[in-house]
Amino acid sequence: MGDKPIWEQIGSSFVQHYYQLFDADRTQLGAIYIDASCLTWEGQQFQGKAAIVEKLTSLPFQKIQHSITAQDHQPTPDSCILSMVVGQLKADDDQVLGFHQTFLLKNFQGAWVCTNEVFRLSLHNV
């Protein structure tokens, strides 16, 4: 990892940490958000750490497993990191579904937090 730019190292570490927490215990995700954080989940918007954690913990499945296909990270002019993730997830006994997720990470009081997040399943109606 040492040969990658720092924003890629931070972004990759965040992505790994996020999905480990999400898959193991979604109630622990509050640590990565701040009160000003925003989440758009399948078109629904939530603002604030409490609202985001409430949404994520109320999702209607018992177990989930994410598999990351690709991730890209960019530095922003205001010292943030933009991360985009493409992957697949399997919830309970449902079929495997593709998803896209984007994070905006900011260093806040010495820790990297997610200030903005957008999630969409990769569903196509033909």
36 in a structural domain: yes
pLDDT in tens, 75-88: 999 999 999 999 99
Q: Which range of residues forms the domain containing residue 18?
A: 6-121
Say how many domains are in the chain: 1
pTM: predicted TM-score of the whole model, two decimal places: 0.93
Confidence of residue 125 (pLDDT cuts 50, 70, 90): low
56 inside domain: yes
The overall average pLDDT reported for the chain is: 95
Q: Kindly state whether residue 1 falls inside one of the protein's structural domains.
A: no
Q: Could you tell me the CATH number of the domain that includes residue 104?
A: 3.10.450.50
The answer to whether residue 126 sits within a structural domain is no
Q: What is the tens place of the pLDDT at every residue in 2-42?
A: 589 999 999 999 999 999 999 999 999 999 999 999 999 99
3-state secondary structure the chain: CCCCCHHHHHHHHHHHHHHHHHHHCHHHHHHHEEEEEEEEECCEEEECHHHHHHHHHCCCCCCEEEEEEEEEEEECCCCCEEEEEEEEEEECCCCCEEEEEEEEEEEECCEEEEEEEEEEECCCCC
